[in-house]
Amino acid sequence: GENVEQHPSTLSVQEGDSAVIKCTYSDSASNYFPWYKQELGKRPQLIIDIRSNVGEKKDQRIAVTLNKTAKHFSLHITETQPEDSAVYFCAARGNRDDKIIFGKGTRLHILP
């Protein structure tokens, strides 16, 4: 079945440095890849997304890259700040239905 793998499960980064989270997906027909940020006790919030016809997208300090051939996509956060500490989920949407499959999440700690 469809599967999304996410690495690492935990990531600690010094404030100001960059953080990278990587995901792979199994369904080659997937065409939409959102990233969600979830703070403790709160709902997942969409922070950036990318569609299969685009290789890279950037929004201020956040960027996402997509390699369709390798079925990889990554989240890059530059100049990390304390408020970036949260759990980040990657996800993939198949082309056959509207189902969005999530990775297991990465807990990002920004160290002072």
Partner 1 sequence: ETGVTQSPTHLIKTRGQQVTLRCSSQSGHNTVSWYQQALGQGPQFIFQYYREEENGRGNFPPRFSGLQFPNYSSELNVNALELDDSALYLCASRPPEANYGYTFGSGTRLTVV
Kindly identify the residues of this chain, within the stretch 65-94, that bind partner 1 according to CB under 8 A.
89, 91, 93
Q: Which range binds partner 1 by CB under 8 A, 14-22, 56-64, 72-80, 99-107?
A: 99-107
The span from the CA of 66 to the CA of 53, in Å, is 9
Q: Which stretch binds partner 1 (CB under 8 A): 11-19, 55-63, 64-72, 103-111?
A: 103-111
Q: Which of residues 3-32 bind partner 1 (CB under 8 A)?
A: 6, 32
User: Is 42 a binder of partner 1 (CB under 8 A)?
Assistant: yes
33: left (phi over 0), alpha (psi -120 to 50) or beta: beta
**CA of 46: how far to CAs of 7, 17, 59, 91, in Å?**
19, 22, 12, 11
Least Å distance between CB 55 and partner 1? Answer: 17
The span from the CA of 80 to the CA of 43, in Å, is 21
Nearer to partner 1, 22 or 78 (CB): 22
> Closest separation between CB of residue 17 and partner 1, Å?
25
Q: Can you name the residues that pair with 22 across neighbouring β-strands?
A: 7, 74
**Pair 76, 87: CB distance under 8 Å:** no
